[in-house]
Structures are given as C-alpha cells and as structure tokens.
Structure 1
Amino acid sequence: MMSRSLAFKLSLAFLLVSLVGIALVAFLAGRVSANAFSNFADAQSDSLLMEQLVKYYEINGSWDDLDRIGIGGVGPGDGQVRPFLVIDNQGEIVLGGLGENIGNRVPRGWLNRGTPILVNDERVGQLIFAEGMRRGAGLQPPRNDFAVQVNQTIFLAALGATAVSLVIGVVLARSLTKPLQEMTEATQAVAQGDLTQQVPVRSDDELGQLAASFNQMSADLSYARDLRRQMTADIAHDLRTPLSLILGHAEALSDGVLPPTPETFDVIHDEARRLNRLVEDLRLLSLVEAGELTLALRPTSPRSLLERAALAHTPAAQQKQIELALNASTNLPDVLVDPDRIAQVLDNLIANALRYTPENGRIELTAQPRQTAVQLRVRDSGPGMDSDELANVFDRFYRGDKSRQRHEGGSGLGLAIAKSIVENHDGRIWAESASGQGATFIIALPLASG
C-alpha cells in the first residue's frame, strides 16, 4: 500500500468537497433553469397572444372574423388544433379551439380557468387555455418571474451543496480527529501512570507515524520503569549483603562470639571494600550519564592502551592458566581518548573475560584501523552469549549467568559504565557472540586526526 501524507489527504478532501458542491449546484441550477426557461418561453408566447387579441379588439371594436386571421401561431385553415379558445362576455366562442367550434358556449366550469381580456380596463372577453397549461392574471411579461425562479434555484442549490459538503466534511474530519482523540486519551492515561497504553495505527501517513512513535515511547517508558524497579531491587540487595556481613561480624566480635582474629577482620575489610566499590560505581555511572565526568583527552597509541591492560591482568590470567595474548601493530594511528578512562573500560572487559573463560582458555587483545576510528577487541574462549544476552549485556545490574552468586559476578554495573565512558568519547561499544563460541567486545574510538 502506497503511503500518502496527511497533507495529500487533506488536499484531496478539500478538492472532493469543492467538486461535490460545484457539481450539485450545476446540476440543480441547470435542471431547474431549463424548466424555468421553458415556462418563461411559454409565458412569453401567452403574453404575445394576449397582446394580439387586445390589439385586434381595439382596431375592430368587436370579435367578428377573428378566426380569419392567424392568432397564436395558427392560421386559418392550416388544420392545427389550437390549445386555447376565446369567448366573449356572453360565453360564446369567438375563436375556436380545444375541440370546440365558433358559436358554441363553453361549459360553465371552463369560465373559472379563463383569463380576462381587458381593453381600456374593460373586459371584452376571456382567453381559456387547455387544462394544466400556464395561466396568469393579465399574462404580464414573465421576465421578473423567470429571474426570481433562477435566483431561487441557485440559492436552493447552494444550500444543498453546503449541506452535502458539510456532511462530507464531518465524515472526513472524524476520520482525521479520531486518531488524535485516541492518542489524547492514551496520553492522559500515561500521564496518570498507566504506561501500558497502545493506540491503533490506522494509516501510513503522519498520523500513523505519530501513533507508532507513541506506541514505541509507551513501550520504552514501560521498559524503563521496570528496569528502574529492578535496579532499585538490585541496589538494595547488593548493599544489604555486605552490610549484613559487616554488621553480623561486628556484633559477633562485640558479643565475644567470634575471636578478634586477622581472618575475621579480613572478612569485614573485604565486605567494606566491596560496598565501597559498589557505591563508587554508582557515583561514576551517575556522573557519566549526567555529562559531568571530566575527560583529559589526548592522542594515545591504541597498542599502549592494550599493553597496559594486558600487563595489569597477566597475573590473574596466569593464576587461572589462561593465555592472555596481545596482537596489535605498532604503527596504528593515535586515538583521541582519556587513557585512564579507557583503561578502566578495558580492565572491566578483561575482568569479565577472565571470569567466564575456563582454565587453559585464551583471551586475545587486538586493534584494527578503520576509516575514522580504531577498533579495540577483547575476545575470549568462554561459553559465549545468546541473542537475549547480547541485547541486555550493557544494561545496569544485568548478569548473564543467573545462577552465579552476586559476590562472584561483580556489581553488574561494569559494562554499563564502560558503555557510558566510551560514548562520552564519541565512540561505540558492542558485543558479538554465538552460544558456545566465546564472546568479542569491540570498542570503536575516534582518530586523533579526525
């Protein structure tokens, strides 16, 4: 189905209404004007007939030999039957017609439909037409009557066209305003907290696009609300666990249940550090998303970034018997970054890779140039991720392995922080993976010269 814009539909609607109005006016005016003109012509002929009769009587002073001259377009002896007749004041026919002959008297009922023939304001006879034919007092010239009929016809046609146009306009207006009304009601419901609202998409024009955008917005708001609730629950859980351990050990020490050994203090210290790390991650994430994180940007070698990260994590990799390999050229173009912040991103990615890569596995760090960026890659040989995990891996507090204990999986904020930091560098970060084939995290950083 071809998409048509709202402007096109409105223009088409206005054109349709105009055409219907014009066509209706033209049809009614033409039809009635034709009838009015026909009546006008008949009346004009009747008026001329009356003038002929009056003039004849004025000249002759009587109706004698009236049938010997051509009256009303019918001459003597031409065999035509007149659609009228003329009588004198005594009711005697002086000009035959309507099947009646001269000298006869017309039926009394015919006198009621006769038109007086006046000469010097004196009635000298009557003109009688066939039943149903036009009659008028004095048969005055009908020009004014014709103009009045035409004007009345045009006026009535205009009223009819207005009514039809109004009906069409109302129908078209309802078809346009109904989606807006539905969207208004849905918007009011969203304002009151109902984020499940969806409106039907009835067309492919601007209104349809607006409805689709509203539905997407409502779905995103609903998802954000659910994510916020889940984040609040996760924060509460992650804060409660170390606090409970710290309080429990502190109370046990105070009550003498636990001896004040270095091991006991180590547990309290580790949980306090974990709690401090979570709070610091939340603070950093809020700064990054608010655009308040200060970046010290400078041209930096991509290889030096990877070397620094590999050196920092080599001991942990050796402890798990994991090969940590670096494969990056020394002549790569510099990238414009804050080295410390990008190091934080790489530390997070490598730590995740170490967490999921089994013993005797492999983690490879590479760098590849692109047109306007350099891509840093962290590839592991772990179990990989499915499509659902790829779609949510950068969400706050998301953990791909639900069975893993929280203290083993970090705070769940590392990848969210990494994404925010990279995007603050005008870069991109994403993950590629297939289940059972490891995962690759890719960072695209802008060139220093670009």
Structure 2
Amino acid sequence: MDAEHRGGPDLYPWWLALALASTAGMWVQPGDETIPYHVGWAGFGLMYGLGRAWSPRRTAVALGLFTGVTGGILVARASAGVLAWQETAEIPLMLLLVALMVWHVRRRQLALAAATHLARRDAQRAHDHERLTRLTSHELRTPLTIARGYVELLRSTETRTERIVDLDVVDDELQRLSRVCERLVRVIQAQTEPELHRFDVDELLRQTGERWAIVSARRWVVQAGAGEVECSAERLRAVLDTLVENAVRYTREGDTVRIFGRRKDGCVELGVADSGPGMSARQMALLNRGTAPTEAVPDTLPRDALSQTGLGLGLVRTVVAARDGRLLARTAPEGGAEVAVHLPLDTAPAIETASQHALNGTLRRVMREATARPATG
C-alpha cells in the first residue's frame, strides 16, 4: 500500500467545498476579495497532508483550478479599478508558497512510507531468521540425535571388536557433524540485528559454565568480575560458546577450562583459558592480527587433526570487530591457550553493513564445507 492510500479520512472533498465557498465570497464581495482568498489557501495548507494523502493528480487539479478561478476574479477586479494591480501579485506568490509546502509534505509522506516499509522488512527478516534457526536446529539435531541413539544401541549389543571400532568411528563422525550444526545455528542467530540492553555479564559467564559442565567432563572454573554491560547478550553468548567449544576440543577429561570476565583499561575482557596443549607462536600471531570491521574474516589458523570448519573464530572476529573490539590470544597460566575478547565500554556498538556481509560470507562458507565434507565437522 503506497502513501497515497494510507491513513485517516479523505479531506479532499471538504477542501473543494471550502474552495467553492471562498471563490463565492470573493465574487460577491468586491473590494474585500483578499479575505476569502487567503481563507481558501489557509484551508488548503491545513487539510493537505492530514488524513488520507492526496495523489499528485488531485493536488495539481486543486492548485490549478483554485489558482485559475480566484486569479481570474482578482484580475477582473483590478481591470475594473476595484483593486490595485499590485494585489494580483498574490496569484503567483501564493501558488509558489503552497507549491513549496506541497513539496515538503510530499517528501515527508514518502519518507514515512519508506520508513514503514523498512520497518516491516526488518521485522519480516527477523522473523525469517528465527524460523530458519528453529528449522535448522530441528531438522539437523533431531536426525543426528536419533542416529547416535541407534549407534549406541548397536554398540551395546555388539561383541565383535572390529564392529565396535567401526561403530565408534561412526559415532565420532556424528559428533563432529553435531558440532557443525551447533556452530551453524550460532551464526544464523548472530546474523539477526542485535537487541542492545544492559545485562549481567557475570551471570552469562556462570550460565555458560553450568551448561558446558553438563556435557563435558572437565574441571570447570568461572571467574566473574565484568559486571553489567550494554551489548547483545545473544552475540556474547555465541562468542563464549565458540571459545569454550575450542577449549573443550583441545583438552581431555579432567583438564581445566577457565571462563573469565573482568574490567580492564576501559574495556570488558571476556575469555576462556585451558590446560591443553596451547597454541604455537605462529597461531597466536595469526589470531592476534587485527581485522577491520569492513573486511571479510578469513580462516587463517593452520589446520590440524582437531580443526573443524574454521567457522567459530571467524564468527568471533566478526562480532568483536562490529563493536570495535579486539581478539587476543596468549599462553594461559594453566599452560594451555587463553583466548579473550576486549570490548570497549565507552564505545557504542557500531554494527556495520560490511560486518553483516562478513557474517553472511562466513555462513555461506560453512554451509558449503558442511555439505561437501560432513565428516570434518
């Protein structure tokens, strides 16, 4: 529905009635034409833009007829000596003033229509993203869960060693595919426009530790000292889940995984440290290399036997860059790797279009890799 057919009653017939009355008043009151003349134009200025918007054709007809008829009366009275010829200067001047008013009102109406369209499109896009997330979660997780259940059932009844080994391989590949599914859902969620509000980051850290402690047998430590931050809770949750997942992948049962948050030098620092094998100097240098918000996020870390699609750290970099933050890697006190994000406290989140494009590119890449090589997660 366009701007010409939206909103309120149609005042055009009312103005036509006022214009007719004003014209009649000018005709029957020689010498006093200026009063009904200006009343007619004032009525136009009042009614135009109120209620249902007038189409350009209606507006042109109204301006043309009223200017022509009332102007003709003024010229006739000036010719008869009733009015001075200077009074006829009102004809082009009033038309010019009203035309400028019409131009500004039309611009406002078109801007409102465009804003309404964008708002509806954004709402639809958010709805589509939410629906895609639910469908992706259901359509991928449910079959994988069922498949793993059957594998466990077969393994519990199998006595042949070689078959048990084969079933372990199948279960391992299904677990890898499940991790790809989790990361894919996280990227889809991160693509939505962030809902910014103040929330307790320390509570988010504790919740993250509790959720992962249920599924991974590690020694979990949570150090919460970040306080409240104005940010997107969903995006920070995705960042933390990605960092924790990497730590779990490179540690074994009984190893330490520490989730921490603190304030430091005008920033809030969130990260994950572990007691695993850690990173090489080259890996830390590549991870610490700055990535501008307008650049696509490359998968620069060298691959190893435990590497997955590279989607996770790409997502983290993009989210951090969108907030003008930094991603830092170093050796943890526990002996393994420590990866942290630094987010400025005094900088409003700048969610740029280019950063959204980077997320889109990351999503397309992981979908291609997951389709082509499902066994590599």
TM-score using structure 1 length: 0.33
Which of the pair has more CA radius of gyration? 1
TM-score using structure 2 length: 0.39
Higher relative contact order (CA 8 A, sep 6+): 2
Q: Which structure features the higher share of helix residues?
A: 2
